Homo-oligomer: A and B are copies of this chain.
Amino acid sequence: MTSKTSLFFPVEDDLKLLRNNLKSLVGTRHPILSAAAEHLFDAGGKHIRPAIVLLVSKATMLEGDITPHHRRLAEITEMIHTASLVHDDIVDEAVLRRNVPTVNSLFDNRIAVLAGDFLFAQSSWYLANLDNLQVVKLLSEVIRDFAEGEISQGINRFDTSLTLDSYLDKSYYKTASLIANSAKSATILSNSSLDIINSIYTYGRCLGLAFQIVDDILDFTSPTKVLGKPAGSDLINGNITAPVLFAMEETPYLAKLIEREFNQEKDIEKALAIVAESKGIQRSQELAKYYALLAIEQLDCLKPSPFSQSLTELVNYVLDRLY
């Protein structure tokens, strides 16, 4: 398994700079907000999204010589991601994330709403100041996709008629859109060819989908201690993911348990057992691998460099999380 540190080694110094900048970008005028920001940006995030932006930027600029706009884009990407987590945690009434208390639980919903709004607003503002309308449009689309994804997830809870396509759409909105559009924006700032711009978008989309599918598998297979929440939480909350979709195909009784929202004794235990005994996990792994391979293929458009190499390894790292 590739360790996180060696994975991003070509942009390690840049990520260090980014971590320091993020806190100052949020500003220090509001002690509570600063506390929330410190808490958020220190909460053990891997900064995968800004790392991708930085790697794509370096891979597409001569001699890896990136501009301040590329760096700012990476920072904006992490700010948007963080803002979405803060509001997600209110919506999901989450108490822990990565084993660390959420802003809504540590402070309260009021502060969490404001902190998320402030981060979204700051990122919109920094975004506008990149002076590139195309990039502004791409990342505005991402913020819209987040809201869209959260809403359809909220509305489709316990809805067993969800198709694989709708599941993939939802995963795109929730996860892949930010990765794909921020990576694409990096190539636009690099004045890359249309071919590279499109390939990197597809790379981000496929990597994001693989990432989300793996996350959805781990929700079933990881111990609570690692997840920082009970295993099977998604299913218990009515959030139907790839392993459940495949397991329902095999064992239609699972759909019944879900439709009655597990309102009878042992329903949850039965449902989790059905998923575990089905081919749902295996077929989901194959789906994740399919997208991972598709992601790696896209990188053929880039000249070989430590940066493009790292982008390939990142895809493998996402799959490695399964084992």
Contact = CB atoms under 8 A, between A and B. Distances in A.
A144 B127 CA distance: 12
A211 to B, nearest CB: 22
A148 interface: yes
**Oligomer copy total:** 2
Mostly, the A contact residues are helix
A121 interface: yes
Contacts of A137: 125, 128-129
B125 A147 contact: no
A117 B146 contact: yes
Contact of A128 (B111, B114, B133): B133
B32 A155 contact: yes
A225 interface: no
A260 interface: no
B122 A144 contact: yes
A87 interface: yes
A131 interface: yes
B147 A117 contact: yes
A220 to B, nearest CB: 25
Interface in A136-167: 136-137, 140-141, 143-144, 146-148, 150-152, 154-155
How many A residues touch the partner, as a band?
Answer: 35 or more
Contact of A151 (B93, B114, B150): B114
A110 B91 contact: yes
A32 B121 CA distance: 25
30 contacts: A30-B151, A30-B155, A31-B155, A32-B154, A87-B113, A90-B113, A91-B110, A91-B113, A93-B110, A111-B154, A113-B113, A113-B116, A114-B154, A116-B117, A117-B143, A117-B146, A117-B150, A118-B144, A118-B147, A118-B151, A120-B120, A120-B143, A121-B143, A121-B147, A122-B147, A124-B124, A125-B144, A128-B136, A128-B140, A131-B133
